């Protein structure tokens, strides 16, 4: 039984590393879209629903990250989902509230 626990811990570390890579890649992509790249922040939030990468940008850049009809946000979610699978969600957070 100990072997399976060690295997699960290794899998979890590997997934954690992947999430870090995903967060860095997402931050890089978003910085390329916005007018205020220094204000881009991507945070990993873990809850019962799973892992979420929360994207925060300057309020003036929110529309660019969401895109017309949500197309840009959907594209970002597709890229992250394609690399990370279904285990990681992407949320664009409105910091103006």
- The tens digit of pLDDT for each residue in 30-70 reads 999 999 999 999 999 998 888 999 999 999 999 999 999 99
For the chain, give every domain's residue range.
2-93
Flag whether pLDDT at 74 surpasses 80: yes
**pTM for the structure as a whole:** 0.79
> What CATH architecture does domain 2-93 belong to?
2-Layer Sandwich (3.30)
DSSP class per residue in 39-91: G-EEEEEEETTEEEEEEE--GGGHHHHH-GGGHHHHHHHHHHHHHHGGGEEEE
């Amino acid at each position: 039984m100990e072997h399976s626990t060690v295997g699960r811990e290794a899998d979890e570390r590997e997934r954690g590393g992947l999430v870090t890579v995903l967060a860095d890649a997402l931050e890089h992509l978003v910085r390329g879209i916005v007018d205020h790249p220094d204000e881009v922040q991507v945070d990993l939030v873990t809850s019962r629903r799973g892992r979420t990468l929360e994207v925060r940008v300057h309020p003036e850049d929110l529309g660019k990250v969401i895109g017309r009809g949500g197309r840009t946000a959907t594209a970002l979610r597709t890229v992250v989902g394609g690399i990370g699978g279904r285990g990681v969600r992407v949320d664009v957070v409105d910091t103006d509230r």
